[in-house]
């Protein structure tokens, strides 16, 4: 990489936000789109969102990065993010300073964030029964087993079932 390219990339990465969250080391690249879905960020979201896909990373080769203004810890469903972008890091920013950091971990068990694809599952027939799953493997791609009907499925292939 020559000097000029290096500078351009630094400028892209270093754009700072005053208040909000930065989710870094999202891998493999492209996963930032899932994170946006999990964060309920769509055309109605009122704050600035910076989405960087396919950034060079010394450690991972390529990664994604998200910066979301005015989002706070209490706005996040960390377990839901854990199904989609585990291994990523979240930094909480206040007045341009990092006030807290955490690593997103895969949950062991999860309820209420994704519907069961099982056709005869009690959770799809009765709305008052919350879908609940055992996480079968800690690493991506993450698969779940329904505690009610034993359906096993891959989270990324059923992203449309996310609540
Ligand atoms: Zn089920």
d(Cα 133, Cα 143) in Å, to the nearest integer? 9
Between the CA of 38 and the centroid of ligand 1 the distance, in Å, is 21
Q: Provide the CA 5 distance to its chain's centre, in angstroms.
A: 29
May I ask the CATH architecture of the domain 109-161? Roll (2.30)
* Three-state SS sequence of 54-89: EEEECCCEEEEEEEEECCCHHHCCHHHHHHHCCCCE
For 64-92, write each residue's pLDDT tens digit. Answer: 999 999 999 999 999 999 999 999 999 99
Does residue 141 have a cis peptide bond before it, meaning omega lies within 30 degrees of 0?
A: yes
For 1-35, write each residue's pLDDT tens digit. Answer: 455 545 555 555 557 899 999 999 999 999 999 99
**pLDDT value at residue 163:** 84
User: How do the domains of the chain map onto residue ranges?
Assistant: 3-103, 109-161
Between the CA of 115 and the centroid of ligand 1 the distance, in Å, is 8
Cα maximum dimension of the chain: 61
Q: Do domains 3-103 and 109-161 have the same CATH topology?
A: no
- The fold adopted by the segment(s) 3-103 is Alpha-Beta Plaits (3.30.70)
pTM of the model: 0.84
Q: How many CB atoms lie within 10 A of CB 97?
A: 11
Between the CA of 163 and the centroid of ligand 1 the distance, in Å, is 15
């Amino acid at each position: 990489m020559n000097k000029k390219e290096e500078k351009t990339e630094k400028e892209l990465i270093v754009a700072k936000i005053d208040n909000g969250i930065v989710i870094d080391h999202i891998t493999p690249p492209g996963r930032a789109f899932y994170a946006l879905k999990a964060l309920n960020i769509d055309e109605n979201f009122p704050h600035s969102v910076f989405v960087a896909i396919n950034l060079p990373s010394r450690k991972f080769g390529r990664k994604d990065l998200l910066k979301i203004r005015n989002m706070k810890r209490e706005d996040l469903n960390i377990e839901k993010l854990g199904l989609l972008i585990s291994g990523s890091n979240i930094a909480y920013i206040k007045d341009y300073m990092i006030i807290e950091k955490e690593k997103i971990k895969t949950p062991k068990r999860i309820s209420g964030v994704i519907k069961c694809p099982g056709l005869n599952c009690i959770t799809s027939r009765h709305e008052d029964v919350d879908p609940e799953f055992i996480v079968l493997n800690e690493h991506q791609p993450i698969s779940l087993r329904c505690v009610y009907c034993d359906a096993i499925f891959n989270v990324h292939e059923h992203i449309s079932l996310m609540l």
